[in-house]
Amino acid sequence: MERIKAGIIGMGFIGVSHVEAIRRIGFAQLVAVADANPALAQAKASEYDIPKCYATVEELLADPEISVVHNCTPNNQHLEINEKIIRSGKHVFSEKPLGMTSVETRKMLDLLAANPRIVGGVNFNYRMNPLVQDMKNRVRKGDIGTVNLVHGSYLQDWLLYDTDYNWRVEPEVSGLSRCVADIGSHWMDIVQTVTGLKIVEVCSDLFIAHPVRKKPRGQVETFSINTNADFEPKKVSTEDYGAVLIKFDSGAHGVFHVSQISAGRKCHFNFEIDGTTSSFYWNQETADHMWQGSRDGYNSQIMRNPNLMTPESRPYSYLAAGHPEGWNDAMKNNVYAMYKFIADGRDMRKDKPDFAVFEDGHYITRLVEAILESNAERRWVTIS
């Protein structure tokens, strides 16, 4: 089989994870990278022995060898770069959130619809954890009855202090929502994936703990500790915390909260689905385990074991039980699913892939906007 050749634009925090994910796919080959910071691109190309390093997006897109391009740039670059990728005739794997607004994501959807040969994926990677896929298939088979409630949270602490800073704090780079768009988007994607239901109503309460942050004069890498002592004050208009009541199209109810200021919480991403007969709970920090709750019998702590997983979810698990799989493996599964879809010559118009597509990214952006509207107007908002 001829290998699918890939390029990555944006070699910051997440770009490196894309390198590792592509490298784990036997029928894929990473041939080039590009970054607005040429020194960074060069350093990463040399560290990872990537054959080509381009100075601009245009040069990378002009490379006829490349057929899939990963867009790992900050949110305000997604529209322009994704459009360029699609227009160049290459498949696009975009980081989330797909765009800054639903106007942007609508434009990308329309452009993809006009180019149906092109496969468009969005990196909602958490849904590709083996046990999340297993839970999805168990919920679909009726293992917990009908879904009544869905609840959970995604908590971090890397923006706890007013000296913590990153481009995500700036709405012109990140968008009008921070915490909800950045990590709440993953939460909404995973619960919609597992339940097969759509969130159609939201009622939110957002909170800005630091209305002014101290912006360092110099770049700060995502999740790094800022040791720069030279600051300028910067007004903050995006939320550090959000709580959202939700209703699903089936009539199920739920609630989630997200925070980037919860001391000690690093990537505390968890959710519980309560059905009419049983419940499931999963936390990505202990990704190889899930919990099944029972009212009349003992509760079960389930450890991932490919031999016991539903047949549909087995391909997402590579290692034998007791050999932990986690974040990097889910990331690899997501990239693999997109590349396999391409390799098999499947058609986005006919087949619904397991990885998130632009339609999913567009819907999540609409949910984020509804959450902002709900908070501003202090009322429930319905997504039409």
Ligand X SMILES: NC(=O)c1ccc[n+]([C@@H]2O[C@H](COP(=O)([O-])OP(=O)(O)OC[C@H]3O[C@@H](n4cnc5c(N)ncnc54)[C@H](O)[C@@H]3O)[C@@H](O)[C@H]2O)c1
Q: Least CB distance from residue 307 to ligand X, whole Å?
A: 29
Query: Which is nearer to ligand X, 147 or 335 (by Cβ)?
Result: 335
**Using CB under 6 A, which of the segments 12-20, 208-216, 280-288, 289-297 binds ligand X?**
12-20
Q: Rounded distance, CA 20 to CA 16, Å? A: 7
Residue 4: how many CA atoms within 13 Å on its side-chain side? 25
Element of type H or E holding 94: strand 91-94
Residues 295-334 within binding reach of ligand X (CB under 6 A): none
Query: Which is nearer to ligand X, 15 or 242 (by Cβ)?
Result: 15
Q: With beta carbons less than 8 A apart as the criterion, state whether 83 and 99 touch.
A: no
Q: Least CB distance from residue 97 to ligand X, whole Å?
A: 6
Task: Output the six-digit token pair for 275.
Answer: 């059905």
* 116-136 exposure pattern, b = at least 16 Cβ within 10 A, e = fewer: eebbbbbbbbbbbbbbbbbbb
Task: Output the six-digit token pair for 37.
Answer: 């910071």
Candidates 54, 79, 95, 337; binder of ligand X (CB under 6 A) is 95
Name the one residue in this structure whose structure tokens are 């009212």: 295
Measure Cα distances from 234 to 74, 99, 213 in Å: 19, 24, 5
Give every strand in the sheet of 268-275, ordered side by side.
300-303, 289-293, 279-283, 268-275, 147-155, 253-259, 241-248, 199-207, 381-382
Candidates 20, 23, 24, 40; binder of ligand X (CB under 6 A) is 40
Is 73 a binding residue for ligand X by CB under 6 A? The answer is yes
Residues 44-63 within binding reach of ligand X (CB under 6 A): 57
Strand partners, 270: 153, 283
Name the one residue in this structure whose structure tokens are 């022995």: 49
Q: Rounded distance, CA 119 to CA 169, Å? A: 31
**Other Cβ atoms within 10 Å of 181 Cβ, number:** 28
Is 43 a binding residue for ligand X by CB under 6 A? The answer is no
Residue 149 identity: L
Candidates 11, 131, 338, 371; binder of ligand X (CB under 6 A) is 11
Binding mask 116-155 for ligand X (x = CB under 6 A): -------x-x------------------------------
Residues 170-229 within binding reach of ligand X (CB under 6 A): 182, 221-222
Cα of first residue to Cα of last residue in the chain, in angstroms, is 45
**Using CB under 6 A, which of the segments 10-18, 193-201, 267-275, 349-357 binds ligand X?**
10-18
Candidates 67, 75, 193, 284; binder of ligand X (CB under 6 A) is 75
Q: With beta carbons less than 8 A apart as the criterion, state whether 60 and 66 touch.
A: yes
Query: Which is nearer to ligand X, 184 or 275 (by Cβ)?
Result: 184
Cis preceding-peptide flag for 97 (omega within 30 of 0)? yes
Query: Which is nearer to ligand X, 9 or 144 (by Cβ)?
Result: 9
Candidates 5, 6, 12, 63; binder of ligand X (CB under 6 A) is 12
Helices (H), strands (E): how many in the chain? Answer: 11, 18
**Using CB under 6 A, which of the segments 72-80, 136-144, 149-157, 276-284 binds ligand X?**
72-80
Q: Least CB distance from residue 382 to ligand X, whole Å?
A: 27
Task: Output the six-digit token pair for 281.
Answer: 């709970």
Q: Rounded distance, CA 362 to CA 109, Å? A: 8
Is 72 a binding residue for ligand X by CB under 6 A? The answer is yes
Q: Which residue is nearest to ligand X (CB)?
A: 12
Helix axes 102-113, 78-87, angle to 10 degrees: 10
Query: Which is nearer to ligand X, 5 or 168 (by Cβ)?
Result: 168
Q: Least CB distance from residue 118 to ligand X, whole Å?
A: 20
Candidates 77, 278, 284, 292; binder of ligand X (CB under 6 A) is 77
Q: Say how many residues touch ligand X, by CB under 6 A.
A: 26
Candidates 7, 10, 130, 216; binder of ligand X (CB under 6 A) is 10
Q: Least CB distance from residue 116 to ligand X, whole Å?
A: 25
Q: Least CB distance from residue 326 to ligand X, whole Å?
A: 12
Is 367 a binding residue for ligand X by CB under 6 A? The answer is no
Is 237 a binding residue for ligand X by CB under 6 A? The answer is no
Instruction: Summarize as ranges the residues that interact with ligand X (CB under 6 A).
Output: 9-15, 34-37, 40, 57, 72-75, 77, 95-96, 123, 125, 167, 182, 221-222
